[in-house]
Structure 1
Amino acid sequence: MRVHILRASCEEGKVVLLLRLEVNLDQVYNERLTDSEREILEFIIQKGEVTQKEVGERFGKVKACRIIQTLEKKGLIERKKNGKTYVVKTV
């Protein structure tokens, strides 16, 4: 993993950093992901941006929800609330 500081500023007594994070996905795949996590992550990468509902329709609602939460905790994806579902995309 490589981290690059693109911009740094001081706002209201806080340091604000804009970072670029480079992650080797092969290393992540080999070390940190289960087969189900890998499968869902690849689906999200292929689509670019997808709703959690779409992932749930393809992989099962409960399974998709749990794995999306896990991938978010691992810092590989982000999700934003959109109505009653989430929009999911890679970081």
Structure 2
Amino acid sequence: MRVHVLKEECENGKLVLLLRVEIEINSLHRHELGELEMQVLDFILENDEVTQSELSRLFGRSKACRAVKDLENKGLVRRERKGKTYVIRVV
């Protein structure tokens, strides 16, 4: 993890900091995700981007859809419509 101070100022006798925190996604997701979400995220990381159809073939349609939605809600991946499917990338 890396922390950068972007801005610091004193307001009413208090130090106010604007920080940028960088956390490696590989270490972060292992602690907060379930087994299926970890597998799906690892597969996406290995391939840079995948389609939801590819994930459905590997993990099953409902499991893949649920895992992608959970990852998207956690802000780890982004889905973009491409034809009749979605392309999924790590944010």
Same fold (TM over 0.5): yes
Residue pair 2:49, 2:89 contacting (<8 A) in 1 also: yes
Separation in 1, partners of 2:80, 2:47: 16
Mark the runs of 5 or more structure 1 residues left unpaired by the alignment: 6-19
Gaps of at least 5 residues in structure 2 are 7-19
In the other structure, the counterpart of 1:73 is: 73
TM-score (norm. length: structure 1): 0.73
Task: Give the count of matched residue pairs.
Answer: 76
Counterpart of 1:33 in structure 2 is 33
The corresponding residue for 1:59 is: 59
Q: Deviation digits for residues 15-63 of structure 1, max 9, x if unmatched? A: xxxxx87333313311x10011000000000010110000110010110
Going from structure 1 to structure 2, the CA distance change for 1:60 and 1:28 (only over 3 Å counts) comes to: same
Kindly tell me: are residues 4 and 44 of structure 1, through their superposed partners in 2, closer, same or farther at Cα, counting changes over 3 Å? Answer: farther
| 1:84, distance to aligned residue in structure 2 (A) | 1.1
Shift of 1:87: 0.2
TM-score by length of 2: 0.73
